[in-house]
């Protein structure tokens, strides 16, 4: 049985650990509310701008943007991976990377190459270790997503799509459901999927599987001012910015919620361990005292 001093040191160590996890739980709880409010405020905008852009799939303007054109015989795709910069948030990052790697294997079976953009340090670390084709990255995002930094990293993929070096662009992130639940999702950004009015409501088909566009008896027709090119270019730019920003906002809200839950579980486990160690300490101390009394009594009897 361990000595009294050793057990006392273990108790002190676990108590110090519990103080840290409790403090991290409180910090995550304070950040969680702001992150959730930011995420919920962005959802209506992302849903609306996506619905407007999706309507263009059924329109017939004089100008048709490359983002609206489905491509066949796909050879390469781009994947934007959104993760957290820090750990200690349960299985949040593990789940999203497991989903990404599963989709990459599916692409590989179809002889489709993948290139990556990493938003967040944890995803960057995994992609670097597996030797993936990393074309851009952005880490140290902080607690508030900055649109300029996000779009700057994704622009490399957009340029490759327009140039024909990739034929589709996907984004992987965690969708916030509630404080206890976050769901990893894999969404198609480009070409514009016309069958998803809400990009956070369902999965999109994989590359090679044609999307079932929303059917309509009549085609859409619009009047553009000043011209179709200016309106469509601006609309699709806002569409991409809105979805990338919302993906990061969802990930940040999921991160703080997962961290709060993980740190609470760690604090509860530490409390239980302290109780168990305290019981062992008391038993060991009692046994030591009993032994000393027995030795004293035995010595007195011998005299």
Mean pLDDT calculated for residue range 288-293: 82
Q: What is the pLDDT of residue 206?
A: 35
Q: Is the distance from CB of 195 to CB of 211 less than 8 angstroms? A: yes
Least confident of 56-70, 138-152, 153-167: 56-70
Closest of 167, 217, 174, 294 to residue 58, by C-alpha: 217
**Does residue 161 surpass a pLDDT of 70?**
yes
Q: What is the pLDDT of residue 221?
A: 67
Closest of 110, 116, 161 to residue 135, by C-alpha: 116
The dihedral sign for the CA sequence 20, 184, 167, 237 = negative
Q: What is the pLDDT of residue 303?
A: 67
> Could you give the 3-state DSSP secondary structure of residue 42?
helix
Mean pLDDT calculated for residue range 136-154: 87
Q: What is the pLDDT of residue 57?
A: 63
What is the tens place of the pLDDT at every residue in 86-124? Answer: 888 988 999 999 999 999 999 999 999 999 999 999 999
d(Cα 142, Cα 34) in Å, to the nearest integer? 13
Mean pLDDT calculated for residue range 169-193: 87
d(Cα 89, Cα 152) in Å, to the nearest integer? 27
Mean pLDDT calculated for residue range 276-284: 89
Q: What is the pLDDT of residue 217?
A: 45
The dihedral sign for the CA sequence 133, 138, 140, 145 = negative
Name the one residue in this structure whose structure tokens are 């993906």. 247
Neighbour-count burial for 252-279, b at 16+ CB within 10 Å, e otherwise: bbbbbbbbbbbbbebbeebeebbeebee
Mean pLDDT, rounded, of the chain:
83
Instruction: Name the DSSP class of 19.
Output: H
Q: What's the alpha-carbon Rg for the chain, to the nearest Å?
A: 28
| Residue-wise DSSP of 92-109 | HHHHHHHHHHHHHHHHHH
**Does residue 197 surpass a pLDDT of 50?**
no
What is the tens place of the pLDDT at every residue in 215-249? Answer: 444 456 667 777 777 877 888 888 888 888 888 99
Reported as a pLDDT band with limits 50, 70 and 90, residue 80 is very high
Say which residue, 39 or 226, is predicted with more confidence.
Answer: 39
Cα 73 to Cα 23, 65, 85, 214, 236, distances in angstroms: 53, 20, 36, 23, 24
Mean pLDDT calculated for residue range 191-210: 48
Mean pLDDT calculated for residue range 11-27: 92
Q: Is the distance from CB of 152 to CB of 159 less than 8 angstroms? A: no
Reported as a pLDDT band with limits 50, 70 and 90, residue 177 is confident
């Amino acid at each position: 049985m361990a000595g009294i001093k050793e057990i006392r040191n273990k108790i002190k160590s676990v108590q110090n650990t519990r103080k840290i996890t409790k403090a991290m739980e409180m910090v995550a709880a304070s950040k969680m509310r702001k992150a959730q409010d930011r995420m919920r405020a962005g959802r209506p905008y992302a849903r609306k701008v996506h619905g407007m852009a999706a309507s263009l799939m059924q329109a017939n303007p004089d100008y048709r943007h490359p983002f609206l054109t489905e491509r066949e015989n796909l050879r390469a795709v781009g994947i934007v991976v959104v993760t957290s910069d820090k750990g200690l948030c349960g299985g949040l990052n593990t789940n999203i990377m497991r989903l990404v790697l599963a989709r990459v294997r599916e692409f590989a079976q179809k002889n489709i190459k993948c290139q990556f953009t990493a938003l967040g340090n944890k995803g960057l670390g995994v992609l670097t270790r597996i030797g993936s084709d990393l074309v851009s990255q952005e880490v140290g995002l902080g607690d508030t997503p900055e649109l300029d930094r996000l779009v700057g990293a994704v622009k490399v993929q957009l340029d490759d799509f327009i140039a024909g070096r990739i034929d589709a662009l996907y984004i992987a992130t965690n969708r916030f459901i509630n404080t206890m639940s976050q769901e990893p999702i894999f969404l198609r950004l480009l070409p514009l999927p016309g069958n998803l009015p809400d990009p956070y409501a369902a999965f999109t088909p994989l590359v090679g599987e044609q999307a079932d566009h929303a059917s309509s008896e009549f085609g859409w027709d619009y009047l553009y001012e000043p011209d179709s090119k200016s309106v469509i270019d601006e609309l699709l730019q806002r569409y991409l910015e809105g979805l990338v920003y919302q993906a990061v906002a969802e990930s940040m809200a999921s991160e703080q919620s997962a961290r709060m839950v993980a740190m609470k579980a760690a604090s509860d486990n530490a409390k239980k361990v302290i109780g168990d160690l305290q019981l062992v300490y008391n038993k060991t101390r009692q046994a030591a005292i009993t032994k000393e009394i027995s030795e004293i009594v035995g010595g007195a009897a011998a005299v």
